[in-house]
Chains A and B, each alone.
Chain A
């Protein structure tokens, strides 16, 4: 255990606390701004989130890719009597989610103006950032739970206050639904901690690594507690049939809210499954894997089918998330290196693609004041550059090889095929549907003749173009050269899989056979003599 948590001695900067505290302090500072300087709120939020983004990038470059354990570990005792401490660290599994959050927030902040109550808006956004980063670095169950809950608050206010027409309903639904899920998890966490203490005869501890590495719980207890965690995560992801808060929340949220909701917050659930589900409850994960994969596959097909029929462009993108997140679930519960790595990649890639899609849809809404597909049309004529960017992002979302979305999806399906062949076959049919709903939407919005206001719509502005550049760079980089990303997550993922193998009797990682030859030299080349007999296939 000490090895897993050994912090590399070169790093002295308290990264994890800084990632959480900086945005929080920024939020406080914005709240303290005099009312008449409200326009400074955006600048302040941008500066703070950019600094945080820069720190995450620094973490990325400082990260030791050979290390399977947690790095940048910071530990501080907190409530000693209950065994609760501030324990944070980053490993290959959380690294890219931290970076994704760090980069997505400044882009979301700079991209769209809320229109009113600037101070509160930017303050809540920064609180949200602190919460999200807190979840990704937390290695103490209590601390994790606190951050997991905290993120609900700013998002509730962002939707409820700066959202669209039906915002109150959507915000309430979002809040109650997700809180209902996490309430059960709190029960799970408390039982887990007390059972662990009684089984080991030691003190209470909320330390994730200690609990996970000891594996003190009985099989049945672990399965029950896994279920409480799984329910909270399943709502957050969201998995079918717990997904209906998502289209409402996404559609009603302001653009920045949708970007963060899709890009970062949905990943709290899928990340939770990997970090807390598989790690804490390896046996239960194996046991429940068929159920989870089934639900994931249903989500892929179902989300795509429902997305196809949406009349609201933003709702369509929201339902596409249900399908994309289904892929992450099946990859995770394939329980092999390809599946899990594909899942993590898909988390990052979905953040990039769907984040960009929500921005583009938001900009169309700003110009046309409608998201109804039927009212749009022929926009490629009036806004060719926006159409080109939309096409690229759409293709990345469809999973075109060479762009980011493909790599994750491919690895997920490859891993799932190795573990559960027929489910992978069904899931693969989701790639047909993804092309259907996005291309059909594109055709109705961008192709055809442009009439009325559609013919006059303003093309992408320079400032908007600049915001898109990081997305475009990421789309190509992750698609063409994902190796450095995968390499950094591999040791941690391999360690997780080994952890499952060690702790689950009779479980071995589902891997491919090795029947390959040594290359063309092994094959006989027919001589070119006349009359030489060729082999006939039987």
Chain B
């Protein structure tokens, strides 16, 4: 059944093409239903390929399917071809599954939008690109998907383009990502230069013989690309702004799938990282760790519900990079999957709240919503417990694996990551308490403003609730795919083994210590929840105790970058332009006028000079043609 791998991206591609031609005719809800069915088909194909791979021998779980040769030039050649291996199919399963749910959810969410069918057109194109990214059997095809998802992200962030803020956010996402793409491209050139091929099979099997310096360079260049796409410091800037897009987009692209591409990419090239100097993965780990802490501290002070979730995503991605840097790839992928479940759930839940609150996103106007939105509240709470790291919900298991990996690598890193985990529990509890509990503040006056209309919150339609329920189930039970108790329960680890080529870090920690670490993590999570309850539920301490303005402003980093771009950066660009106009062109015009003024004869002729030489050339040419024709005998 693995031969069906081409069907996985073919479904959303077909959906895109059909919607391109007939999207307007299908209209609402036809276009949405059609796009959702295409994603469903894609998911079923992924399941079929998965079943096919499971049937195969463990060492034989690399199925490559070449469709056609894409770019052949001299000794360079790259195909459009797929690689179905445990890593790719794991990614494919959760991408298509979550995408199907979010497509379904969007039918309700985008109800009444003038560009309803266009939204699904973009969504299907996104899914196609994302699947090319993970299924491509070479770096260039991954790059095609990489740029494709970036473009769809751009189109969807600026979907409501009449608002300048949305348009700016879209542009910012694209351009910032391009900085990372720069690294990705150089990595491809270097890989080709080193191996003579950028096909994964040929590259990775050639990796054991490569020089450490080259491996380090490729690792760090790919990490630059990954830091762009997966929103790590210092390139994370675009992701909080990307929340300008419709909420299903935030859930699908900016939480569950696209932003995990960087972790996928680094996991894919693990044999190269294994050859790199030890400090290369260390850099990955420390950057991830710093981002996890940094973004968590910002999330604590945000007022906008989507901004909290956005910074939370940045922070959680930092956790995954810590795992990659520590060499515990399985933990990274495990957390990527559970995060996809609970963060998609949280975003869709937030969307449901925003929908019910008539587009109000300020949490200071929320409160007591569990009474009017019971399903949303119930599912959201499951997502909250999962991300906070409360057992037995999924996030606990995957976060624990990462903490264990960090502990194994560096004790200081473990402590700092634990702090980030406690902060996660705190800010998520803050969000839940402010939104669903406490008194209703729906028409509250904030910063001197009251809502234009009275707000009557309502529960969302069934098409929006069904995905919430399914995701809640996954977020609750997702940990079961990789339980630490016995080796055979580590199903994900066993399944991913072939794709990791023995590069998964071996954890040298006694069983008793593991228990101890897990208990510390749980206590940490619960204390985060308790702290938030103390402030936001019991009001025993003022919120200003933790919500510092500098944290709300993201430590001023975004502003500093914007000021630099709009200030010195712009000045430098302006200066270059003036240099072009006055110096470079000035010399040309100066030379022209010197010639013009130096000769009186020329001065007299100047207006007619060019024209007469033009006529002269034309006349000469005609004479030549005539001469030529006269001499020829056809």
Judge: A and B partners, yes or no.
Answer: yes
Which A positions have Cβ atoms within 8 angstroms of B?
14, 24, 76-78, 86, 146, 149-150, 152-153, 156-157, 160, 171-173, 175-177, 179, 241, 243-245, 302, 305-306, 308-310, 336-338, 341-342, 378, 380-381, 391, 395, 400-402, 407, 410-411, 413-414, 417-418, 421, 424-425, 428-429, 431-432, 435-436, 439-440, 443, 446-450, 480-483, 486-487, 490, 494, 511-526, 528, 530-531, 533-538
Instruction: Tell me whether B544 is interfacial, beta carbon within 8 Å.
Output: no
With A411-B71, A515-B196, A519-B205 already in contact, the answer to whether A432 and B178 are too (CB < 8 A) is yes
Chain A to chain B contacts (Cβ below 8 Å), 5 pairs: A150-B617, A243-B584, A411-B73, A432-B182, A538-B277
Pair B73/A337 contact, Cβ less than 8 Å: yes
Pair A516/B274 contact, Cβ less than 8 Å: no
Return the contact of B178 from the options A172, A306, A431, A535 (Cβ within 8 A). Answer: A431
Contact mask for chain B residues 590-630; partner A; CB cutoff 8 A; 1 contact, 0 none:
00100000000000000000110110011001001100100
State the Cβ distance, B624 to closest chain A Cβ, in Å: 6
With A150-B617, A533-B506 already in contact, the answer to whether A448 and B164 are too (CB < 8 A) is yes
B281 surroundings in chain A (CB, below 8 A):
537
Return the contact of B181 from the options A306, A310, A431 (Cβ within 8 A). Answer: A431
Whole-angstrom distance between the alpha carbons of A106 and B295 in the complex? Answer: 56
Instruction: Tell me whether B502 is interfacial, beta carbon within 8 Å.
Output: yes
Pair B497/A520 contact, Cβ less than 8 Å: no
With A78-B628, A153-B618 already in contact, the answer to whether A520 and B201 are too (CB < 8 A) is yes
Contact mask for chain B residues 177-203; partner A; CB cutoff 8 A; 1 contact, 0 none:
011011001101110111111010111
Pair A536/B201 contact, Cβ less than 8 Å: no
Least CB separation from A127: chain B residue: B618
Pair A516/B74 contact, Cβ less than 8 Å: no
Contact mask for chain B residues 425-469; partner A; CB cutoff 8 A; 1 contact, 0 none:
000000000000000000000000000000000000000000000
Return the contact of A517 from the options B204, B504, B628 (Cβ within 8 A). Answer: B204
B76 surroundings in chain A (CB, below 8 A):
338, 411, 414, 512
State the Cβ distance, B164 to closest chain A Cβ, in Å: 5
Pair B71/A482 contact, Cβ less than 8 Å: yes
B576 surroundings in chain A (CB, below 8 A):
302, 305-306, 309
Whole-angstrom distance between the alpha carbons of A395 and B580 in the complex? Answer: 27
Query: What number of A-B contacts does a CB cutoff of 8 Å give?
Result: 271
Instruction: Tell me whether B206 is interfacial, beta carbon within 8 Å.
Output: yes
Summarize A's interface: helix, strand, loop or mixed.
Answer: helix
Pair A146/B74 contact, Cβ less than 8 Å: no
With A76-B632, A483-B72, A517-B205 already in contact, the answer to whether A309 and B573 are too (CB < 8 A) is yes
Least CB separation from A424: chain B residue: B189
Return the contact of A483 from the options B71, B190, B497 (Cβ within 8 A). Answer: B71
Whole-angstrom distance between the alpha carbons of A447 and B505 in the complex? Answer: 49
User: For window 130-187 of chain B, which residues contact chain A by CB distance below 8 Å?
Assistant: 140, 143-144, 147-148, 151, 154-155, 158, 161-164, 166-168, 170-171, 174-175, 178-179, 181-182, 185-186
Whole-angstrom distance between the alpha carbons of A407 and B167 in the complex? Answer: 28
Pair B74/A443 contact, Cβ less than 8 Å: no
With A432-B179, A447-B167, A490-B74 already in contact, the answer to whether A515 and B209 are too (CB < 8 A) is yes
Return the contact of B175 from the options A24, A241, A244, A435 (Cβ within 8 A). Answer: A435
B497 surroundings in chain A (CB, below 8 A):
525-526, 528
Least CB separation from A482: chain B residue: B71
User: For window 98-124 of chain B, which residues contact chain A by CB distance below 8 Å?
Assistant: none
Whole-angstrom distance between the alpha carbons of A153 and B612 in the complex? Answer: 11
B175 surroundings in chain A (CB, below 8 A):
432, 435-436, 439
With A483-B72, A530-B487 already in contact, the answer to whether A156 and B577 are too (CB < 8 A) is no
Pair B503/A534 contact, Cβ less than 8 Å: yes
Least CB separation from B177: chain A residue: A435
State the Cβ distance, A92 to closest chain B Cβ, in Å: 12
List 6 additional contacts besides A381-B162, A486-B73; criterion CB under 8 Å: A395-B151, A401-B148, A431-B185, A512-B194, A513-B196, A534-B504
Pair B178/A435 contact, Cβ less than 8 Å: yes
State the Cβ distance, A102 to closest chain B Cβ, in Å: 21
A241 surroundings in chain B (CB, below 8 A):
584
Pair B580/A306 contact, Cβ less than 8 Å: yes
Whole-angstrom distance between the alpha carbons of A345 and B59 in the complex? Answer: 41
B631 surroundings in chain A (CB, below 8 A):
77-78
Pair B500/A400 contact, Cβ less than 8 Å: no
Pair B202/A518 contact, Cβ less than 8 Å: yes
Instruction: Tell me whether B588 is interfacial, beta carbon within 8 Å.
Output: yes
Pair B206/A537 contact, Cβ less than 8 Å: no
Return the contact of A537 from the options B70, B278, B625 (Cβ within 8 A). Answer: B278
Whole-angstrom distance between the alpha carbons of A175 and B618 in the complex? Answer: 13
Of listed B170, B498, B588, residue having the most chain A CB within 10 A: B588
A153 surroundings in chain B (CB, below 8 A):
614, 617-618, 621
Pair B625/A24 contact, Cβ less than 8 Å: yes
State the Cβ distance, B124 to closest chain A Cβ, in Å: 15
> How many of B's residues come within 8 Å of A, CB to CB?
103
Pair B506/A536 contact, Cβ less than 8 Å: yes
B359 surroundings in chain A (CB, below 8 A):
none
Whole-angstrom distance between the alpha carbons of A177 and B595 in the complex? Answer: 13
B181 surroundings in chain A (CB, below 8 A):
431-432
Pair B158/A447 contact, Cβ less than 8 Å: yes
Pair A526/B501 contact, Cβ less than 8 Å: yes
Instruction: Tell me whether B22 is interfacial, beta carbon within 8 Å.
Output: no
With A156-B610, A535-B502 already in contact, the answer to whether A447 and B162 are too (CB < 8 A) is yes
User: For window 62-119 of chain B, which residues contact chain A by CB distance below 8 Å?
Assistant: 62, 64, 68-76, 85
Least CB separation from A80: chain B residue: B631
B634 surroundings in chain A (CB, below 8 A):
14
B148 surroundings in chain A (CB, below 8 A):
400-402
Pair B617/A149 contact, Cβ less than 8 Å: yes
Pair A486/B71 contact, Cβ less than 8 Å: yes
Instruction: Tell me whether B15 is interfacial, beta carbon within 8 Å.
Output: no
Pair B573/A308 contact, Cβ less than 8 Å: yes
B278 surroundings in chain A (CB, below 8 A):
537-538
With A150-B617, A535-B274 already in contact, the answer to whether A523 and B209 are too (CB < 8 A) is no
The 10 closest A-B pairs by CB, nearest first: A517-B205, A337-B74, A447-B167, A522-B205, A519-B201, A417-B189, A516-B202, A526-B502, A517-B206, A401-B144
Of listed A512, A524, A533, residue having the most chain B CB within 10 A: A512
A535 surroundings in chain B (CB, below 8 A):
274, 502-503
Pair B190/A448 contact, Cβ less than 8 Å: no
Whole-angstrom distance between the alpha carbons of A459 and B4 in the complex? Answer: 42
Whole-angstrom distance between the alpha carbons of A414 and B71 in the complex? Answer: 12
Return the contact of B205 from the options A149, A157, A486, A520 (Cβ within 8 A). Answer: A520
Whole-angstrom distance between the alpha carbons of A528 and B58 in the complex? Answer: 9
Return the contact of A407 from the options B71, B178, B494 (Cβ within 8 A). Answer: B71
State the Cβ distance, A378 to closest chain B Cβ, in Å: 6
Return the contact of B75 from the options A146, A152, A512 (Cβ within 8 A). Answer: A512
Return the contact of A309 from the options B193, B199, B502, B574 (Cβ within 8 A). Answer: B574
With A534-B504, A537-B281 already in contact, the answer to whether A245 and B182 are too (CB < 8 A) is no
Whole-angstrom distance between the alpha carbons of A24 and B208 in the complex? Answer: 63
With A431-B178, A483-B69 already in contact, the answer to whether A494 and B193 are too (CB < 8 A) is no
With A176-B610, A515-B206 already in contact, the answer to whether A338 and B74 are too (CB < 8 A) is yes
Pair A443/B167 contact, Cβ less than 8 Å: yes
Instruction: Tell me whether B271 is interfacial, beta carbon within 8 Å.
Output: yes
Return the contact of B72 from the options A310, A410, A447, A487 (Cβ within 8 A). Answer: A487
Of listed B148, B205, B273, residue having the most chain A CB within 10 A: B205
Pair B62/A443 contact, Cβ less than 8 Å: no
Pair A515/B204 contact, Cβ less than 8 Å: no
Pair B273/A514 contact, Cβ less than 8 Å: no
Return the contact of B162 from the options A157, A173, A378 (Cβ within 8 A). Answer: A378
Whole-angstrom distance between the alpha carbons of A518 and B195 in the complex? Answer: 11
A439 surroundings in chain B (CB, below 8 A):
154, 170-171, 174-175
Return the contact of B196 from the options A76, A86, A176, A516 (Cβ within 8 A). Answer: A516
Pair A176/B140 contact, Cβ less than 8 Å: no
A395 surroundings in chain B (CB, below 8 A):
151
Return the contact of A523 from the options B75, B163, B501, B613 (Cβ within 8 A). Answer: B501
Pair A528/B494 contact, Cβ less than 8 Å: yes
